[in-house]
Amino acid sequence: MTDKKILAVDDEEIVLKMYTEYFQYQGINLKTSATDTDALRLLGEEPFDILILDMKLDKASGKDLLMQVRQSHPEIKCIFVTAYATDDVVEELMGLGVTEVIRKPCTIRTIYESVQKLVLSS
């Protein structure tokens, strides 16, 4: 589907496994990270086009990680996945440059379709 590089960040290993398996099935090789520290390391090692972020991470919030990422990678497109998507939160995330906010519960297909839209729009 794409040569775009995608990084998914979530503190739940089962979610990361689901991302990996579903996206590989679709012909996309994405990388995953379970921590903000590891995500920043990966972002420092290679460029990514799309970042999929969960709001709640183990030791940090996805929002905090996003603000750090924006400083060094302002061009990266971001999809935020959260169960905490009040209107105020969505507005704040969009102000930080998030391309799309997906409310949990959701399916992996919904996230994949959001990635497809970003790939097609770039």
pLDDT digits (tens, 9 = 90+) for 15-45: 999 999 999 999 888 999 999 999 999 999 9
Q: Is the pLDDT of residue 2 over 70?
A: no
CA distances from 77 to 47, 67, 84, 98, 121 (A): 12, 13, 20, 7, 11
Cβ-based neighbours of 36, under 8 Å, separated by 6 or more: 9, 57, 58, 59, 60, 64, 65, 68
More confident residue, 2 or 91: 91
pLDDT digits (tens, 9 = 90+) for 91-104: 999 999 999 999 98
Tokens of 110: 């919904």
Percent of the chain whose pLDDT exceeds 90: 75
The strand order across the sheet containing 50-54 reads 31-33, 6-9, 50-54, 77-82, 100-103
Give the separation between CA 12 and CA 116, rounded to whole angstroms.
23
User: In the chain, what are the domain boundaries?
Assistant: 6-121
Q: Is the pLDDT of residue 1 over 60?
A: no
Q: Whats the size of the chain, residue-wise? A: 122
> What does the pLDDT read at residue 18?
95
Instruction: Give the single-character DSSP code of 122.
Output: -
What is the distance in angstroms between the CA of the first residue and the CA of the last residue of the chain?
Answer: 13
pLDDT digits (tens, 9 = 90+) for 54-70: 998 888 889 999 999 99
Instruction: Give the single-character DSSP code of 112.
Output: H
Give the architecture-level CATH label for domain 6-121. Answer: 3-Layer(aba) Sandwich (3.40)
More confident residue, 44 or 85: 44
